[in-house]
Structure formats: structure tokens, C-alpha cells
Structure 1
Amino acid sequence: MNKNIKLMIILLVPIILSLIEWHISFSTIFVIVSMILLYILIGCKEFAYKNKYTKIIYKIYRGIMILFISTFIFLEGAIIINMYRTKDVNSIDNNINTMIILGAKVNKDGVSKTLKLRLDKAIEYYNIKKNINIIVSGGQGCDEISTEALAMKNYLIKNGVPKNKIIMENKATTTLENIVFSKRIIENRNLKGKVLIVTSDYHLFRGQFISSILGIDNEGLCSISPLSGRIYYMIREYSTSVIDLYKSLKISFNS
């Protein structure tokens, strides 16, 4: 069998699996495009070296692909390491005075499964340290019945967290805005001490590096997502992390 055909069959496997599991979605398209780019990188090498001009183009392309692959591996590795380092409430520093719970989708029946997992992890920590301030951060999307902050507040109160411990940030529509707007609340209320960022496993690394860039002394605590959903969102995290890194640095330099 021709080696290019073998390569094509190998690269088709993740494409087929992603289509079966996630249908047509951002992560599926990302996988498809990535496999096509890998096929060009590996399968077209011999053709590219037959001409000096195509050889130059191929070397530039190879450099870009090496950068893409290495940064993707670095990010996914950082997410996985951070996930296992921050899943246990008992490993959190005692010098935490404020908790920021990052919002997620709200359904017509209330908080989504993803958001419920985040809130349950936050409650788990609250039951250890009762004197913590809790900022619930999230605005209202066009398909949501209320702000994420209000839905989170109602869920926390229903599960034993006193109303006076909860501070709502109900304007944010992105992770970056979650952190920026929550930071304003922390500064306006003169809340001292380290901040605990609470979100999903795949999302925590981004939440923490945004917080660190913006000058928030923080630790992280993550809820654990189902495997398929975790992989799906970890793939999405690559592009959103690159965008938020740029935007966070821009805000930091301009402040």
C-alpha cells in the first residue's frame, strides 16, 4: 500500500471519531483542518523538495506547523497538569479570602450540568472555609433565561451558602471579562488576600493565567468534567487561550 494512502487512513481515524462524538462543531472542524495540515506536512515533503521555490515554501510551512504543534502540545499538557494539581479542595492555601466562580451556560431549568459541577466544587470548599467571599461571575446570553450570576447565586443559597456571602458580577460575557469585572469588585470592596478561581478542569488554566497577567494573586480549584466533554473543550481552549493571552497582555500593558 502506498505510504500516502496509509497516512491518509491514519489521519482519518481522529476525524471519524470526532464526527461520531461531536458531529459538526468547532472542535470537529479543528480536528479536520489539523489532520489536513499534517497530511500536507508529511505527505507532500518529497514533492516540495523537487523545486527550489516549493522547497522554500515548504520549509516556511514546516516552521509554522512546528510552532502550531509545539504550542498545542504545551497548552494541552499545561491544562492536564493543572487539572490534577487543582482538583482537591484540601490542597488549597489557607490564605484565600475571595472565591471567583466563572459562569457557564444556564438552561431553562436552571444551571447546566457544567455549571452545577463548578458550583458543587465551590460549595465543597466553602464547607471547609465559611468566612470566604464568593463572587459569581457571568452575564446573560441571548439564549439564557437569566444571568449566569443570578442562577449561580440561587443555586448556592439553595445549597446552604448565606446570601450575604455572595457577590454578583452579572455583566461578563467572556472569560476575560469574568476576570476583569471581578477584579474591579475586589478592588472596589478592598478585599484582601489570595483569590481562588473556580471553574471546570479544561478551563482553569486559562482562567488562572488571565488572572495572573492582570495582577491577581490566585490559586485554582477545578471540577472534573466527563471525558468526552473534557477533550472537546480542551481542543477549543487552544484558540481561545491564544486570543485571551493577547488581550490580557494588552490590558496589562495599558493599565
Structure 2
Amino acid sequence: MAENSETIKQFKLYTTGSFLGDEAVLLNSNKSLVERYYIFSYYLEINDFKILINTGFSEHVKPSTELKTLKLFHRQDYKIYETLPSQLLKDHVHPDEIDYCIITNFASHHIGYLNAFKNATIITSNEAYHNFITQQVTNNNLQLSFHVMPDDFKERIEFVEDFVQTDHPILGKGFKVFNQDALVSYELPGAMPGQIGLMMKFSNLMIFMCSDAAWCRSNIEKNNLPTKRLLRKAYNGELFIETHSKLIDLKTDMKPPLFIIPSHCKKMDDFDEVMQLLDALK
């Protein structure tokens, strides 16, 4: 387990794929507008530890267009980009050097290359892990995820609940990953079982990776709650609304510069501004 991790030295956002989504379904739009939504993974360094948050979307878990839950999002037009391991190698990071893979939930587009990181400890929430292992959630998207599980998956698991607990006035109970303030996990229930988000603290801004608690940053900026069609597909619709409302409150109340970034999003209105800030962190 990593210790004395005080600052985030490096940060980079990677895109491993995309799919088509209809704003009438995802964003409470009055009219249908199909746009491309991207699938993000995050790389960061804390002290000497190399960390990934979610491991991307891959051909190994490409969903079938016959699945009703996926038809909702027009996912028959999935695009798969360059693999996450290949992108990391171009940035001089070998997959075997990754120390930790933090998985925010076990949807297939979050763990597409998990078995490529052979030396990484896998960190997730207790609930997300046990729902996945016991198949209590019979979501076809989750079942596809088993194709990328390392053989020693169970031996490499650590839980966020084993770290030091903290509390946030809006997000509630959280856990200091590696027992430091630089990276804090918070429960984001509703969209997926055991889902977590991660607050990353830098010297001049904060980034909250909210996983699937929101589909796009514009939802939060416009104070839009999840659509009825999304709520019907959520693991727990009532909790999904509560979590989404907390994100809106977080955006409104936080004093330092804060960017809330989902796991998949269309081109953000302030995308260039966000990327410039992230580039400045290198």
C-alpha cells in the first residue's frame, strides 16, 4: 500500500473510444440530437506511484448491438481508438510500471485493459467488487467485463473503505486513498452499484472525476437532473437523482477552481480551458 503520498505530480486524460448518444435521452433536450460521447481514463503520479483511474474501452468488451440496455444510447456506432497501453508507451510509461488501477465501477468501458497491467493493485469499493463477483447485478454490460479480468484478480484487490475516512459537507463520507488528501474517494450511488468518484487536489485547482454520476458536464452546468429514460436504466433511480443533485451543489458551492469531469462526455463547452489547465500540471 502506498504511504506518504502528498502531491499529484502528473496528470493526463486518455480517450480509448466513443459512442453515439442522443441528447433527448441523456441531457433532457427537447429535441433529438445525436452526438459523439467519449470514454475517458486518467493517469496520475503521486510521489513515485503510477496510477490509472479506469482502464478504458477495448475490443475485448465491445458490447453487442442486440443488448436492449445499450440500444438506448445508440451504441451500435461504437468507435475504438488506440489502446490505453499503447498510448501510455508513447508517453514512456510501460504497463508493467503501473502500481495501482482504481476502478470507479465495473462497467465494461471502465476496465477494458485491466489485464494489461500485471503488477497493479486494483482499488475499488467493497460494494462494487462484491456486486460484480457475485453477479447480483445481472447487467449484460457487467457480464462482458469478465473477459478482461486478470487471473489473479481477487488476490490483487484493495478497498477504498480500508483507507482513512473523511467527510465532505456536500459529498458526505469519503476515504483518503493512500491515507493522504491528494486523492479522496466519495460514494456516488445510483447509476451503478458501489460507484465511486475521486477528488484530485492540485495547487491551483481541484478536479472531481464523477464517474457515471453524470453523463456530461453540460448536465451539471445547466442544473439538469437525469432524464426519465436514464432513471429507468439506473441501478437505483432515487439515489441517482440524489447524487446528481449533490454534483450540482458541489459545482455551485466550491470556492477553489473546480472541474467536474465524467467518465464519458461530449465535447465540453470549456474543453480547451480544462485541457490547458491540465497541461500546465505536467
Scaled by the length of structure 2, the TM-score of the pair is: 0.30
Flag the structure with higher strand content.
Answer: 2
